[in-house]
Amino acid sequence: MGKQRIGFIGTGIMGKPMAMNLLKAGFALTVHTRTKLRAQALLDAGARWADNPAQLTAVSDVVITCVTDTPDVKQVLLGGNAVIEKARPGLICIDMSTISPTETRRMGEILAQKQVIMIDAPISGGEIGAIEAKLSIMAGGPKEYVEQVRPIFEAMGRNITYCGPLGCGQLTKLANQVMVVHTIMSIAEGLAFAEKAGLDLDVTLAATACGAAGSHSLKILGPKIAKGDMKPAFMVDLQLKDLRLVMEHADQIKQPLPGVALVRELLKTLQARGRGKDGTQALIDVIRELGRAKGKS
């Protein structure tokens, strides 16, 4: 059987390099995004353009969405000129956004009425992971169909994990985000402490990154903090969107997450100051400010 024809919707920070890696792997690719200019590099590399999700679906065996939030996915899959309008029995829809697990299941039920299979496959690894095709992919849905699209996943990621039925990929990603924000908090506090104690941050990073404190986040974000680089590997706005989803589901299952609640409020401080487009490493500035306030008391 030849390679599946792929339609890719959403060519942002993550989607663009993911789609590029599919082209490099030899997949026939059709793309759609709200702003065509953002897809120009993909079109130059051989992708075809579709004016809307329905047009894209008509020429695809697999449709991948990688957009911002739950309403965006619903619009693309079920709204006007949406995937559902041209969906054929056997079409596979893979949502690689980070959205509500509950709404994912509802969308899957609606698509199933047209014999369309939905897979949720959110990702972790940041822009560098997307560029280098080293993403961690957390897949939920019918296992036989997840296996069917594994070559597609392997073109974009290194660690592909089957997490269970539809929605379990999203739940696993939310658990991932709980752990990620605590890691970012620990980096911000640790480096703020080192800085105020008079240590050289580069030396501190060299000493700690290979020990028990070492992590992917420290490796990527630590040097950015040391250089004063607040450009996003992952934006504060998007992290807050993910934490909203975490807390919504935590409320549903009655699981307190006091640490997440704290980090969320600190990130909201950055957002309120117009820094939502900064990288999450900007959390250190909030911690630094607390230190300055303490020093004046």
**pLDDT tens readout for residues 33-48:** 999 999 999 999 999 9
135 is a domain residue? yes
Whether the CA torsion 7, 277, 120, 221 is positive or negative: it is positive
**pLDDT tens readout for residues 101-132:** 999 999 999 999 999 999 999 999 988 999 99
- Identify the CA nearest to 127 among candidates 7, 232, 250: 232
Q: Is the pLDDT of residue 297 over 60?
A: no
**Catalytic residue (one of 74, 86, 173, 227):** 173
Q: Are 66 and 17 in a shared domain? A: yes
Q: Are 180 and 88 in a shared domain? A: no
Residues 6 or more apart in contact with residue 51 via CB below 8 angstroms: 32
Q: Name the strand (E) or helix (H) holding 134.
A: none
Q: What is the amino acid identity at position 222?
A: G
Across the chain, what does the average pLDDT equal? 96
**pLDDT tens readout for residues 225-236:** 999 999 998 999
129 is a domain residue? yes
CATH of the domain at 119: 3.40.50.720
- Pick the last residue of a domain from 148, 165, 182: 165
Taking residues 59-79, report their average pLDDT. 97
Q: Is the pLDDT of residue 65 over 70?
A: yes
**pLDDT tens readout for residues 74-83:** 999 999 999 9
At residue 95, the pLDDT reads 98
Give the pLDDT band of residue 1 (cuts 50, 70, 90): very low
- Pick the last residue of a domain from 165, 184, 217: 165
Q: What burial class does residue 61 get, using C-beta atoms within 10 Å of its C-beta: 0-12 exposed, 13-18 middle, 19+ buried?
A: middle
For residues 124 and 185, the answer to whether their CB atoms sit within 8 Å is no
Q: Name the strand (E) or helix (H) holding 213.
A: none
Domain containing residue 145 = 6-165
173 a catalytic residue = yes
- Pick the last residue of a domain from 165, 193, 219: 165
Q: Are 219 and 234 in a shared domain? A: yes
Taking residues 266-292, report their average pLDDT. 97
For residues 153 and 130, the answer to whether their CB atoms sit within 8 Å is no
pTM score, whole prediction:
0.94
Q: Is the pLDDT of residue 294 over 70?
A: no
Number of domains in the chain: 2
Q: What burial class does residue 134 get, using C-beta atoms within 10 Å of its C-beta: 0-12 exposed, 13-18 middle, 19+ buried?
A: middle
**pLDDT tens readout for residues 15-24:** 999 999 999 9
